Structure 1
Amino acid sequence: MSPSSSERPLVTVVVPTRDNERTIRACLSSVVAQTYEHVELVVVDNHSSDATPRIARELAGTVVVAGPERSAQRNTGIAAARGEWVLWLDSDMVLPARTIDVAVDTALATGASAVALPERTVGEGFWTACRALERECYLDDPWLHNPRLVRRELLLGDAGFDLSMSGPEDADLRMRLRDAGRHIELAPVIVDHDEGRLTIADVLRKRYYYGRSIPAFAAQHEGAVSAQGRAVLRSYARNHRRLLRDPGHAAGMVAMRSLEVVGYALGARRGRADRARGTKG
């Protein structure tokens, strides 16, 4: 039997952000509009220079200023949380109204310690459509989805997000939870990720930035980078019919992923140099 509404656990939604006035209102409004009744909303702003803090104060119960990176912001939000469960979102994500209900039901029904929420890309332009097609290949692959709803007790102290990573920190948490024997379940709900109008320059900049954390991630999880790559390729193979139905965007997806590999490699080279100098870069 499902617990009554009054017995449902409190969920703290943590949203790290910086200069995201284009998307943050839709993101926070979707949290406020959840059918789940026991939600607190914590926004952790990294010294935004646009209207982001004003919008956050309109909609969130708690707004904290902290940085310097997303991992630190998430840890700050977790420390401020009162909920039994913590759910973190990027500020360009929008939740369907029953997302938290479905995620909590999934956790309670399966005994999971963490729940992943599949995403689909929305936005405009050719490259955004290529990203959307790519994400469609992952929707039913539990191994490739990182958790977003986790019991707060599992995230406190050193168990939170690794401050040496910005990009791979989600995969790092997933692997640490699994290594500890924690069950991660995939919720039957899809979150919208508003990536706007992607350009190749945008993609390369982000992958270079994320790539700088790959040496730290690889040092913590031997063989994980290549294993992730193989899992992605298997997803493409399983979805070959989907890709063949849209050959133009499929070709663009392949080109974009190839350039992303270059961005990751260049970023990783910079990350290794930073580690050799004993700095985070």
Structure 2
Amino acid sequence: MTDTTASDLPKVSVIVPTKNVERTMERCLRSIAAQSWGNVELIVVDNFSTDATFDIAQRYADVAVQAGPERSAQRNLAIERSSGEYVLWIDADMVLTPHVLEDAMTCAVAGDLTGVFIPEVTVGDGFWTACRSLERKCYVGVELIEAPRLIKREWFVTHGGFVADVAGQEDADLRMRLLAQGVPMGHIDTYILHDEGRLTFPDIMRKRYYYGKSLPAYNRAQPGAISQQGVATMRAMVRGLPILAGDPVHATALVGLRACEAAAYAAGAFAENRATRRAGVAG
């Protein structure tokens, strides 16, 4: 960074929704405090954690409040409380490498961009976490899969925040809205670490089933997006064949994992549609 003082730099509001994430919380917030970009505010919205999460948040955050019921509502509240020209949204199991904000803001300011895509690198222990890490390597630069995490606050004010009735695809919905509007966006190579811990197969399936329950709402909000993302995923895997070939054991398991995840998503969507139909009949 140049000798520009912090007050001369555009402010970035980093927003973090939390709930019972004390394992990763302090590392996440420390990484925000250690950014090379000098003008940053940190806003944490905690969903009434029962562990030490909120205590940690209060030690680091400029604004720390408690509210729910889901990440979308928490993020929207954080955006309301923010004062930065740009908003960076992350989860509490993510760690910013030291120059993420500086590189993203340099990109955004130079091109007067509305959003900047930032790649993720999965870290953690265990076999299934290694599969997820391998998968992410295939997605770098794919706009229908990666997330534009740095966004002008003005865009949120004008177009609304995260959709409240979608859990798990709220980031995809945001991305699809930005892409549909054709707003200027860019990419950086500097990455965010995503600490997924030790993933287990049952945990993955439970989460995909839960996320699947909001797929009908996502499909209503973004017709055709699910199939577009499916095609983009397949193309990314084909493009990433050299990467996958370098780790055949985890690549083979990844193929099976993706198939099981698709089934779990479908089961969750089916259960939600059935519950909706029953509610309609009862009403």
Same fold (TM over 0.5): yes
Q: Which amino acid aligns with 2:74?
A: Q
* Contact kept in structure 1, 2:86 and 2:151, CA below 8 Å: yes
**Against the structure 1 CA distance between its residues 208 and 157, is the aligned structure 2 distance closer, same or farther, given a 3 Å change threshold?**
farther
Stretches of structure 1 lacking an aligned partner (at least 5 in a row): none
Q: Distance in 2 between matches of 1:155 and 1:161?
A: 9
Match of 1:241 in 2: 242
Find the aligned partners of 1:170 and 1:100 in 2 and give their Cα distance. 19
Residues 126 and 198 of structure 2 are in contact (CA less than 8 Å); yes or no, is this contact kept in structure 1? yes
1-side partners of 2:60 and 2:221: how far apart? Answer: 38
Deviations 1:47-82 (A, max 9, x none): 100010111111111111011000000001000001
SS at 1:144's partner residue? coil
Distance 1:101 1:274, change over 3 A: farther
Change in CA separation of 1:267 and 1:157 when aligned onto 2, cut-off 3 Å = farther
* Contact 2:144 2:229 (C-alpha < 8 Å) held by counterparts: no
1:61 corresponding residue in structure 2:
62
CA RMSD of superposed structures (Å)? 1.6
Matched, 1:32 2:33: yes
- 1:144: which partner in 2? 145
Pick closer, same or farther for the CA change 1:27–1:85 going to 2, 3 Å: same
Question: Following the alignment from structure 2 to structure 1, what is the Cα–Cα distance between the partners of residues 9 and 165?
Answer: 35
SS of 1:83's equivalent?
coil
Does 1:264 find its partner at 2:281? no
What is the deviation of 1:24?
A: 0.5
Task: Report how far residue 273 of structure 1 moved.
Answer: 3.1
Q: Secondary structure at the match of 1:43?
A: strand
Distance, in Å, in 1 between the alignment partners of 2:276 and 2:88 is 31
* Letter of the structure 1 residue corresponding to residue 259 of structure 2: S
- Give the length in aligned residue pairs: 277
Taking the TM superposition and a 5 Å limit, the aligned residue runs for 1:76-87 are 76-87=77-88
- The amino acid across from 1:92 in the alignment is D
Q: Could you state the TM-score of these two structures normalised by the residue count of structure 2? A: 0.94
State whether structure 2 residue 171 is matched by structure 1 residue 170: yes
28-37 vs 217-226, greater mean Cα deviation = 217-226
TM-score if structure 1 supplies the norm length?
Answer: 0.95
Cα distance in structure 1, aligned partners of 2:185 and 2:169: 17
Q: Secondary structure at the match of 1:22?
A: helix
Contact 1:129 1:249 in 2 (8 A): yes
Q: Which residue of 2 aligns with 1:98?
A: 99
The corresponding residue for 2:123 is 122
Instruction: Give the share of equivalent positions with the same residue, in percent.
Output: 47
The amino acid of 1:198's aligned partner reads: L
For each residue in 1:7-37, what CA deviation from the matched residue of structure 2 results, as whole angstroms up to 9, or x when unmatched? 3211100000100000010000000001111
- Do 1:142 and 1:186's aligned partners in 2 also have CA atoms closer than 8 Å? no
Matched to 2:8, the amino acid is E
Q: Which amino acid aligns with 2:136?
A: R
Pick which of 169-178 and 151-160 moved more.
Answer: 151-160
Counterpart residue number, 1:186: 187
Name the residue aligned to 2:203. Answer: 202
Question: Could you tell me which amino acid in structure 1 is paired with residue 180 of structure 2?
Answer: D
Equivalent residues of 1:122, 1:196 under 8 A apart: yes
Unaligned residue ranges in structure 2 (runs of 5+):
none
- Amino acid of the structure 2 residue aligned with 1:103: A
Query: 1:153 and 1:226 mapped to 2: Cα distance?
Result: 30
Measure the CA separation in 1 of the matches of 2:81 and 2:60.
Answer: 17
User: SS where residue 134 of structure 1 aligns?
Assistant: helix
How far did residue 157 of structure 1 move? Answer: 7.0
What are the residue-to-residue correspondences of 1:36-47 with 2, within 5 Å?
A: 36-47=37-48
